[in-house]
Amino acid sequence: MYELDKNLIPLFSSNEIHARVKELGSEISEKYRHTHPLIIGVLNGSFIFLADLIRSISIDCDLDFIKVKSYKKTKSTGKVQLVMENSLPIKGKDVILVEDIIDTGLTIKFIRQKLLKSSPKSFSIASFLSKKGTHNLDFPIDFIGFEIPHKFVVGYGLDFEGKMRNLNGLYYMKND
């Protein structure tokens, strides 16, 4: 089996993930029921979470993407690089930034700072995962799927050296 070959330990099953993503979608739909938010997905890692999340949202929303690079193998490089700009106007919009995982918080800080310069009406963050005790942010992560220990995870869009994004569940890597 692929998961055994790659030394993966299951953390959340596909069913558990879908149940939690549905809850997040309901929370977002309720909070934004009087508006029409602009959802911005952070590529590449968030693409599967984002695809499921927007299908759990029952209000109209616009969609855009931004792409950054910050990781080498399983460790943060400490440097965030913008690879692709978002393209829809942000000024006056209720923006929801969608990220796969918050580890050191450097990536989210960098993107938040950049997007706030374009004067959105409001700004919130939805992250599929947040690692406990690894970041100390001076702003909230408004919607979090799961809080997880400080270990490297793969699957459901998250990669190891570009691979394993296609796994339906979320896994720890045994050797991390």
Kindly list the catalytic residues. 103
CB count within 10 Å of CB 149 equals 11
Cβ of residue 172: shortest distance to ligand 5GP, in angstroms? 9
| H or E stretch at 64 | strand 62-72
Nearest to 125 by CA among 140, 136, 135: 140
Specify the residue, 91 or 162, whose C-beta has the smaller distance to ligand 5GP.
162
Specify the residue, 94 or 103, whose C-beta has the smaller distance to ligand 5GP.
103
Cβ of residue 92: shortest distance to ligand 5GP, in angstroms? 27
| H or E stretch at 30 | helix 14-31
Specify the residue, 3 or 31, whose C-beta has the smaller distance to ligand 5GP.
3
Q: Which residues bind ligand 5GP (CB under 6 A)?
A: 45, 70-71, 76, 99-108, 152-154, 158-159
Torsion, Cα 145 17 79 114, to 10 degrees, reads -50
Cβ of residue 165: shortest distance to ligand 5GP, in angstroms? 8
Whole-number Å distance between alpha carbons of 113 and 155: 28
